[in-house]
A and B are shown apart, each in its own frame.
Chain A
Amino acid sequence: MRALIESLQADYFRRALVEAALAGALGGLVSVHVLLRRLQFFVVALSHATFPGVVLASALGVSLFVGGSAFGLLVAGAVVLLGRERSAGDSSIVGVVVAGAFAFGVALITALPAGGRQLTAFLVGSIVTVDTGDVILTAAVLAVGVATCGLLHKELVFSAFDHAGAASMGYNKVPLDLVVLILVTLVSVSVIPAVGTLLAISLLTIPGLIARLWSDRVVSMMIIASIGGASAGVIGLCLSAIWNIAAGGAIALTGVGLLGVSLIVRQPRRWSGAITPGDRRSGAESGSALEA
């Protein structure tokens, strides 16, 4: 406990707390869309897909955030493009694109002069070293996320639940899918300082699953998920200071802990239904944006 109180007096730790809360809220907000569209695999895959961008950025000396996002967006585009080839299975395409991108990154890292200093921070996060710029960036992405989810709420939720219905009412599916994929990519990159690229999945799915146990409505799920994500971030960071463990891992495990508590408190049998909100029978029909 004393370690925590000592840490709280330091500037860098308070900045880290703000970053953890912002990243958690951001991940929580988007996690609802990730669940609605079954993008969990895409999020895990992004952690490998952004790798070549990071290697290039590190070699060229530009921000890892820029390099990672640029390559993440490229991969999101490739997934949407190749996903139109119906004969190829949905998730398999993500696997192929991502493994290819990762191999490209590995080839780059062996061919280019070494710049691996920041690599570990990128892989598992390094929240205590964030500067004010990182915090502002996360806050900006949070603002973009709230604006996108708010302005396009009806369209995004409708097309997630009923692709055919949305198409027949004249909504164009490809831009909507792209908006979600771009948003998810930006968020996965901006939670990297907090939990690292390999654990971005923790902030981008667990809060949504927690919220699903507490609510059936999309808007309240988003609010609960944001609060849940921010709590996981703050509690995890404090635990990491107390026990002197990695913040990224602590935040991820705190999220899983909150999910476990929610499961125990809110009848476990709710898990016997589909995880998507609303009517559970029709919920099962809501396909992923990568399918179809």
Chain B
Amino acid sequence: MLSRLLIEPFTVSYMQRALLSVVLLSIMGVVCGLHVVFRRLTFLAEALQHTVFPGIVIAFLTGQSLLLGATAAAILTVVMFSLASSKTNADTDSVLAVLVTLFFGLGVVLVSRSGSFQHDLTTLVFGRLLSVSTAELVQTGVVAVVVVAVLIALHKELMLRAFDESGAKSMGYSVVTLDLVLNCLVAAVVVASVRSVGTVLMVAFIVTPALTGRMAARRVGYMLAVGLGCSLVAGWVGLGLSYELSVHRGVNLAAGATVVLLMTVMFLLVAGYQAIRRSYAPEAHNLYAPEAQDSYAPEAR
């Protein structure tokens, strides 16, 4: 029974490509996601899903690759966001809200002028994990390698900036540059998912396992391990489950959505366990939270 769920589905070549795709997205999602959680950039990741839309519409209308359009729009968003939040000191949430309105409004207006766009819009929102091509897999792989390499190279600097902004400044690091680099990496991860799980579900790959790890562990290495474990198990079981149900049981269940639902279930289990443990051990509560834990989430500007 277990082999039927976990091994048999992956003898089919499109399922192998889907699994590989999920593994790549999981790795870069968790690695990037920890920084997203530390720096409270969830809204940026969420906003990027909306702001890539006009780029994709323009690419569609001019016959360019959708990935190119999405990348261009994402870079534009990140640059505008980084500039607005560093130069004007305006509330970052409001900056993102304005950017989402501006970009998405533009996208909607462009679509309404162009006629039929329905099919690709659906692909964008829901992804099509089971028909990922080898070329797209290679693209995702390249993005994953770049993202992970940059994050490893800048690990010390980014951690310092996340937990001690003034310390980083006084040691001569350019906080603006570090922020821009991290924001660009988040954009790259979101864009890389356009053709596989869809940008909306990608936020789950970034935030959910990272937050699970963050709740379960107190050292960054362990957080990474827990997050990656959750993500990979959810990917493997989710794909297998979705295949088994769709092919043998006649219940259609979208692959990407099943994976994300499993991630969410794992998060809720960990959150529930922590809540129960805390209610039975008030002294542990005093020891680790809220003060000790709060230092892990530096105040957003």
A residues bordering B, Cβ < 8 Å?
35, 38, 40-41, 43-45, 48, 82, 85-96, 98-100, 102-104, 106-107, 109-111, 120, 124, 196, 198-199, 201-202, 205-206, 209, 244-246, 248-253, 255-256, 259, 268, 271-276
From B140-148, B184-192, B254-262, the one touching the partner chain is B254-262
Q: Is the CB of B46 within 8 A of A44?
A: yes
For A201, give its contact among B91, B97, B206, B252 (CB under 8 Å): B97
Q: Is the CB of A110 within 8 A of B106?
A: no
Please give, as numbers and ranges, the residues of chain A lying within 8 Å of B297 by CB-CB distance: 89-90
Give the A-B pair count, Cβ closer than 8 A: 205
From B9-17, B37-45, B165-173, the one touching the partner chain is B37-45
Q: SS class of chain A's interface: helix, strand, loop or mixed?
A: helix
CA–CA, A248 and B50, complex, Å: 15
Assess A92 versus B211: contact at CB under 8 Å? Given A107-B253, A111-B253: yes
From B71-79, B175-183, B267-275, the one touching the partner chain is B267-275
Assess A107 versus B258: contact at CB under 8 Å? Given A86-B293, A92-B42, A96-B207: yes
Most chain B Cβ neighbours within 10 Å, of A43, A88, A98: A88
Q: Does B32 contact A (CB under 8 A)?
A: no
Please give, as numbers and ranges, the residues of chain A lying within 8 Å of B62 by CB-CB distance: none
Assess A96 versus B200: contact at CB under 8 Å? Given A103-B261, A245-B109, A252-B108: no
10 shortest interchain CB distances as A-B pairs: A100-B264, A249-B108, A252-B105, A246-B112, A99-B204, A103-B260, A249-B109, A106-B257, A95-B42, A95-B207
Q: Is the CB of B214 within 8 A of A99?
A: no
Smallest beta-carbon distance A229→chain B, Å: 12
Smallest beta-carbon distance A87→chain B, Å: 4
CA–CA, A244 and B114, complex, Å: 11
Q: Is the CB of B105 within 8 A of A256?
A: yes
Please give, as numbers and ranges, the residues of chain A lying within 8 Å of B200 by CB-CB distance: 48, 99, 102
